[in-house]
Amino acid sequence: MNDFQSDKRRVAVIGGGISGLSAAHRIHELDPTIDLRLFESAPRLGGSLQTERRDGFLLEWGADNFITQLPWGLDLCRRIGFEDQLIPTDSAHRQAFVVSRGRLRKIPEGFVIMAPSRIWPVITTPILSPVGKLRMAWEYFVPAYAEDEDESLASFVIRRFGRETYDRLVQPLVGGIYTGDPERLSVQTTMPRFVEMERNHGSLIRAVWSQVGRKRQQQAKGSSGARYSMFVAPRDGMDSLVAAVAARLPQDAIRVGSPVLSLAPRPEGGWTIRVGGERPETIEVDGVVLAVKALAASRLLAEIEPTAAELLAEIPHASCSIVSLGYRREQIAHRMDGFGFVVPLVENRKILSGSFSSVKYPGRAPEGKVLVRAFVGGACQAELADLPDDQLIALAQEEFGQLLGIKGEPLLVNVARQPHAMPQYYVGHKQRIQQLDELLSQVPGLYFAGNAYEGVGIPQCIHSGETAAQRLVDQLKESLAARAVGS
């Protein structure tokens, strides 16, 4: 049965994660007359974004915040009236740690993933040896890369800062973001800003200091600076953002528990979609936004554009399991005066990172209790993500126990699995995406969105969905104008 209104242009969004929801919302925002459907195979919206409330704790099954330096997340929140629900990180504890020789050490203040903006914290940090500090400082004089070819993130960092800075600071920080292997990750697609800094300034240290100087000049002129911290979170959890976007869509537009079984182009233009689930239907639409994981998109494209399907299937993904543990504050010896810690591979531990959820944001744990999260697996320790729940919990308890001085059993435990959730932008990813764009530009009325293409964070996913929506609506307008001229 096809219950679309026959006299309207019809559009389908396949995938109900934040990318698909953003695409659907933007389509409706741009043209409310479009008859819209969003199909999600799972029984709920949000994809990897999921929040659970239990025993006074607020548990996130995936990302628990998003960055504000990229504008698209904040912009969407403003447009849906959700801005007042965003809370900043606690400024009193705005620092993080790295495991260094079995102990938590503060990451040097002003160290921005790959470059220091302040000298004294780097000079005094016990994380690096004197030789490592000198090699980091020498980056100022290292010539810029003369080639235009992509290189691995590890190659880039070691070339500019040396092996010790890479092993002890950059690798764990990047691993915490991408759950990936910097030896294979593309610096062009994961950290393009640093490539630009090298190209424009010759040195990352020089570029960072130049930026710091400009900020000081602005402050001297009376600029109040940004209202937000670098990261914000919805007060009631990430699923409240999902619900807020969904609430802005037309009534009866959303179909959960509705997997798309096939997608086929129509000879006269548009698409035929076969949907399964409790409400199976076959529908005809004028345009499609495909906002599902790359492998799922590959399956739907296999008969339509085989080469593009192969390229999508080749994008590797890493899995991660997140173990949440709740404790009474007195059970933990560590001061917990930061947001969490990252773990270098050279430490030979069994977790990627640890997050102090209830320190970062209020309302995550009851009074007198704390909530921490351990991230396990990723590209470099893939086998650990697949351990049974009891082993994952024991592993997290052991690691946190050693690093934070925890005594006794947790009050709460939760294991959240994110299988194949994090695409890995390996060297050559940019060229793969360019090839995909060229191939799919020959397939009218089909647009892609998601974290497998040009950014893995929530703002990038929102931007991906909104860009696909804009392109689809523009194409529909062009088609309508062409038909009007032809008649």
| 207-249 pLDDT tens trace | 988 876 555 544 444 333 334 468 999 999 999 999 999 999 9
Question: Is residue 415 domain-shared with residue 431, that is, in the same domain?
Answer: no
Question: Would you say how long the chain is, in residues?
Answer: 487
Question: Is residue 350 domain-shared with residue 416, that is, in the same domain?
Answer: yes
Coil/strand/helix, residue 469: helix
Q: Which CATH number belongs to the domain containing residue 344 in this structure?
A: 3.90.660.20
Question: Is residue 174 domain-shared with residue 296, that is, in the same domain?
Answer: no
pLDDT confidence tier of residue 265, bands split at 50, 70 and 90: very high
Question: Is residue 176 domain-shared with residue 116, that is, in the same domain?
Answer: yes
> Residues near 248 by Cβ (< 8 Å), separated by ≥ 6?
25, 28, 80
Q: Which CATH number belongs to the domain containing residue 126 in this structure?
A: 1.10.3110.10
Question: Is residue 356 domain-shared with residue 402, that is, in the same domain?
Answer: yes
The reply to whether 92 falls in a domain is no
Q: Which CATH number belongs to the domain containing residue 255 in this structure?
A: 3.50.50.60
The reply to whether 282 falls in a domain is yes
pLDDT at 487 exceeding the cut of 70: no
Average pLDDT estimate for 46-55: 97
Using an 8 Å Cβ cutoff, are 154 and 220 in contact?
no
Number of domains in the chain: 3
Question: Is residue 345 domain-shared with residue 412, that is, in the same domain?
Answer: yes
Q: Tell if the pTM clears 0.85, that is, is over it.
A: yes
pLDDT at 280 exceeding the cut of 70: yes
| Structure-block tokens of residue 225 | 């600076």
Question: Is residue 142 domain-shared with residue 211, that is, in the same domain?
Answer: yes
The reply to whether 227 falls in a domain is no
- pLDDT the model gives residue 119: 82
The reply to whether 267 falls in a domain is yes
Q: Which residue, of 386, 407, 423, is where some domain finishes? A: 423
> Residues near 7 by Cβ (< 8 Å), separated by ≥ 6?
none
- pLDDT the model gives residue 3: 55
The reply to whether 368 falls in a domain is yes
Please write the tens of the pLDDT for every residue from 138-169: 999 999 988 878 999 999 999 999 999 999 99
State the angle between helix axes of 429-440 and 306-313 in degrees (0 to 180), rounded to the nearest 10.
150
Using an 8 Å Cβ cutoff, are 49 and 62 in contact?
yes
Question: Is residue 306 domain-shared with residue 435, that is, in the same domain?
Answer: yes
Average pLDDT estimate for 30-46: 97
Question: Is residue 326 domain-shared with residue 398, that is, in the same domain?
Answer: yes
Question: Is residue 305 domain-shared with residue 323, that is, in the same domain?
Answer: no
Q: What is the mean pLDDT of the chain?
A: 92
The reply to whether 80 falls in a domain is no
Strand bridging mode 51-54 / 103-106: unpaired
Please report, rounded to a whole number, the percentage of residues in the chain having pLDDT higher than 90: 84
- pLDDT the model gives residue 2: 54
Domain span at residue 381?
Answer: 317-423
Q: Which residue, of 394, 423, 452, is where some domain finishes? A: 423
Please write the tens of the pLDDT for every residue from 372-396: 999 999 999 999 999 999 999 999 9
Question: Is residue 419 domain-shared with residue 446, that is, in the same domain?
Answer: no
Give the residue with greater pLDDT, 5 vs 268: 268
The reply to whether 444 falls in a domain is yes
Question: Is residue 296 domain-shared with residue 442, that is, in the same domain?
Answer: yes
Q: From 324, 416, 333, 407, select the one nearest 55 (Cα to Cα).
A: 324
The reply to whether 79 falls in a domain is no
- pLDDT the model gives residue 134: 96
Strand bridging mode 412-423 / 66-67: unpaired
DSSP 412: E
Q: Which residue, of 403, 423, 443, is where some domain finishes? A: 423
